[in-house]
Amino acid sequence: MSAELKRKAAEVALTHVRPGMRLGLGTGSTAEEFVKLLGPRVAAGLDVIGVPTSERTAALAASLGIRLATLDELPELDLTIDGADEIGPRLALVKGGGGALLREKIVAAASARMIVIADSAKVVAELGAFPLPIEVVPFGLEATRRAIVARAAALGLEGPVRLRMAGDRPYLTDGGHLILDASFRRIPQPEALALALSGIPGCVEHGLFIGLASLAVVAGPGGVSLLEP
């Protein structure tokens, strides 16, 4: 996705922001375009307060003068704007490519609305081509990985489930967890898989966002389109 398309989607999302809003600020390159556009609006007098979904987003927002709070200080938000790795039917999402899926889902769930910004290539007829990120605790990693494989196989899903690396070390989330990327290629029943993964003790959270997004702003070569569930 070109920076121009990301910016176009972010510009449309910005029109949904009103003075006084409590905003969830997403993580990833597309969400960062929104934060970069929000900064000048705040400098010009727009009164909002943001709750970032990652340390990276927090640093960017702070550098642009955006007032920030924690979710403990603002446990109910008006709107979250975030990106997605895949957008499927009924706005079911795969998220977590940027490694912030746990905080992203907590913030989205605390928001009255969630708007997703993406390019048209992220819109798919069926989820699963993008490897599904699953955040797990380090303790018992192999037992958890095998449980994921078994639960997926029971749903007819198979494919490698690999530990995400950052160079020669395992990738660590802001919460100190690990991420397993599950390459199932297709997820025809995301609700069933979400339920199965949630029942595994070592799984902290998974990257299936179901019933959270209320609008998707999708930018493509032909312009920007709006998708609803």
Per the annotation, binding residues for substrate are 27-30, 82-85, 95-98, 122
Spatial contact of 83 and 116, defined as CB atoms under 8 Å apart: yes
Spatial contact of 208 and 219, defined as CB atoms under 8 Å apart: no
> In the annotation, is 33 catalytic?
no
Per the annotation, binding residues are 27-30, 82-85, 95-98, 122
3-state secondary structure of 136: strand
- Return the half-sphere exposure (C-beta side, CA atoms, 13 A cut-off) of residue 144: 26
Cα separation, 120 vs 220, in Å, equals 5
Sort strands 208-209 and 77-82 into parallel, antiparallel or unpaired: unpaired
Catalytic residue, candidates 32, 104, 135, 205: 104
Residues 6+ apart with CB under 8 A from 213: 84, 87, 91, 93, 108, 114, 115, 116, 229
Residues 6+ apart with CB under 8 A from 225: 120, 218
How close are the terminal C-alpha atoms of the chain, in Å?
23
* Active site residue ranges: 104
